[in-house]
Structure 1
Amino acid sequence: MNEVVETLRNIEQNYKIFQQQQFTFTRALDHTREEAHDLLRPVASIVQVQVLKDHHCISATDRRILNMFISICNDLRNLCQKLETVHPGDQVTNSLLERCKVLLNDSNDLSAIRATYPHGVVNYLSFEEARHTYGGVVSLIPIVIDLLKEWVTYTKR
Structure 2
Amino acid sequence: MNEIKESLRNIEQTYKIFQQQQFTFITALEHTRENAHDKIKPVSSIGQVQTYTDHYCNNSTDKRILLLFLSICSDLNKLCQRLESLHPGNSVTNALLDKCKTLVSHSNDLSGIRAKYPHDVVNHLSCDEARNHYGGVVSLIPIVLDSMKEWVAHTEKLPRNMLHSVSARKAAVYNQAEQPIRRVGDRDHLGRPAFITEGTQTYISLTEKAREREDRRVKLKQLGGLGRAIRKFLDGPWRPPGKHAF
Q: What is the TM-score when the length of structure 1 is the normalising length?
A: 0.98
**Corresponding position of 1:136:** 136
State which structure, 1 or 2, has the greater radius of gyration over its C-alpha atoms: 2
Q: What one-letter code is carried by the residue in structure 1 that aligns with 2:28?
A: A
For structure 1, the 5+ residue unaligned runs are none
Show CA shifts across 1:20-69 (max 9, x none): 00000000000001111111111100000000000000100100100000
Unaligned runs of 5+ in 2: 158-246
Equivalent pairs counted in the alignment come to 156
Please name the residue that 1:156 is paired with: 156
Aligned equivalent of 1:127: 128
Q: Which has the higher contact order (CA 8 A, sep 6+)?
A: 1
Is 2:92 aligned against 1:81?
A: no
RMSD: 0.6
Task: Write the deviation string for residues 82-125 of structure 1: whole angstroms up to 9, x where unpaired.
Answer: 00101220110000000001111101010000000000000000
Q: Which residue is equivalent to 2:43?
A: 43
Offset of 1:9 from its aligned partner? 0.1
User: Does the residue aligned with 1:41 lie in a helix, a strand or coil?
Assistant: coil
Q: What does 1:94-109 align with in structure 2 at a 5 Å threshold?
A: 94-109=94-109
Q: Indicate the percent of aligned positions where both proteins have the same amino acid.
A: 64
Moved over 6 A (4+): none
Alignment TM-score, normalising by the size of structure 2: 0.63
What secondary structure sits across from 2:116 in the alignment? coil
Deviations 1:118-152 (A, max 9, x none): 0000000022211x200000000000000000001
